Amino acid sequence: MTFTEKARQAAAASWQGSFSHPFITELQAGTLDQNIFRYYLIQDHYYLKHFNKLYTLTAEQTSHPELKAMLYRNAEHLALGELAIRKAFFEELEITENELAAVPVAPTAYHYVSHLYRQLLEGTPNAAAASLLPCSWLYQELGTALLSKQSPVPIYQRWIESYAGADTLENVQQERAVIDQLYTESSPEVQEQMMAAFIISSEMEYTFWEMSYQRETWKKDEAVVESQTAGHSKA
């Protein structure tokens, strides 16, 4: 069994939770409150900005040629694909730059991004790569699964379709293959880091839906935390 097969199995509860979360089931049914979807997009804007930066930072730190090439390629694909699609969503839903700047980063989004940076700063590029995989892989599986039943809300259907293409599947398969190779070449200590990073990211993916669905905010010391997250967003 490969690393990605073992990791997917170890994180099965989180993945199943994502597939059955009301955010996803209601999005497909067309009953998801559009204010929830807007909040998700705003928080995901923060997340994807750092996610894309982490592709580049990890590529700069690794000496593994296949990983380096893959990460730079992923950064380019994200900029030309998902981020461009999100821009169209923002225009349709009238999400302005001022609104993006004004809405505080939610706790879960902040913690997820912090987890990703931690893998690179305290772990290894291999652990960082493993922590980035659940996002692209889970979204590809969700898009493929949801595509079989059309969402009656056009923007929700376009969101689904953006993750269900053959190119997305091919990119995920290539990413899995590189990370599987990294795992076999790594020491037992690094292998443990990779597994832990993957599992935590999978759980954070699940909690990201819940964060969006509940429109999560900081509960206390909000002014202090907002200041901290504003500083982090410039990292």
Q: What is the pLDDT of residue 235?
A: 43
Q: What is the pLDDT of residue 222?
A: 54
Q: What is the pLDDT of residue 234?
A: 43
Q: DSSP secondary-structure letter at 106?
A: P
Q: Are the C-beta atoms of residues 124 and 196 closer than 8 Å to each other?
A: no
| Domain carrying residue 197 | 3-232
CB atoms within 10 A of CB 52: 18
Q: What is the pLDDT of residue 50?
A: 94
Lowest-pLDDT range of 10-19, 44-53, 62-71, 215-224: 215-224
pLDDT of 73 higher than 50: yes
pLDDT of 225 higher than 70: no
Q: What is the C-alpha to C-alpha distance for residues 45 and 78, in angstroms, rounded to an integer?
A: 12
**135 noted as active-site residue:** yes
Q: Mean pLDDT in the chain?
A: 91
Report the Cα–Cα distance between both ends of the chain, in Å, rounded: 37
Q: Which two tokens stand for residue 161?
A: 């379709």
Q: Are the C-beta atoms of residues 178 and 59 closer than 8 Å to each other?
A: no
- 194 contacts: CB under 8 Å, gap ≥ 6: 3, 7, 126, 127, 129, 130, 179, 182, 183, 186
Q: What is the pLDDT of residue 173?
A: 96
pLDDT of 224 higher than 50: no
Number of independent structural domains in the chain: 1
Q: How far is CA 139 from CA 15, 49, 228, 233, in A?
A: 10, 17, 29, 24
- Helix, coil or strand: residue 165: coil
Q: DSSP secondary-structure letter at 148?
A: T
Residue closest to 89 by CA, chosen among 53, 45, 50: 45
pTM reported for the whole predicted model: 0.91
CATH number at residue 110: 1.20.910.10
pLDDT over 90 percentage in the chain:
81
82, 141, 203, 205: which one is catalytic? 205
26, 135, 141, 203: which one is catalytic? 135
